[in-house]
Amino acid sequence: MRQVLGNLFENCLRYTAPGGRVRLDASEDDGRLCLVVDDSAPGVPDAALARLGERFYRVDASRSRASGGAGLGLALCLRLVEAQGGSIAFAHSPLGGLRATIAFDLEGA
């Protein structure tokens, strides 16, 4: 989980402008742990949301090259969460950027 949150926060901080916001919320509901990471970075187009877990996929290749992204961070997050029996979903954040929602069953964790 440390690697997943580290990758998500690194991604948030890479694309969120100085003075922007990054938020982590955690909750438990019916035996499931839910972690939500939101940022106020420039938004991700609707068509790109479904592709965020693909290896080497970058929403804007020129922006990613300038900031050092290789298109592997979110793909790694997805694989690590799924390997632990969890799920991760990407959506638009109420802060204006990206929202990553991670969910795990607490039973057996």
Tokens of 81: 């969460």
Quick one: pLDDT band at residue 68, thresholds 50, 70, 90?
low
| CA pair distance 22, 13, nearest whole angstrom | 8
What is this structure's pTM? 0.80
Sign of the dihedral defined by the CA atoms of residues 98, 90, 22, 79, in that order: negative
pLDDT one-digit tens code per residue, 55-66: 655 666 555 445
Task: Name the strand (E) or helix (H) holding 98.
Answer: strand 98-105
| Least confident among 7-16, 20-29, 70-79, 87-96 | 70-79
Domain ranges of the chain: 2-105
**Range 2-105 has CATH code 3.30.565.10:** yes
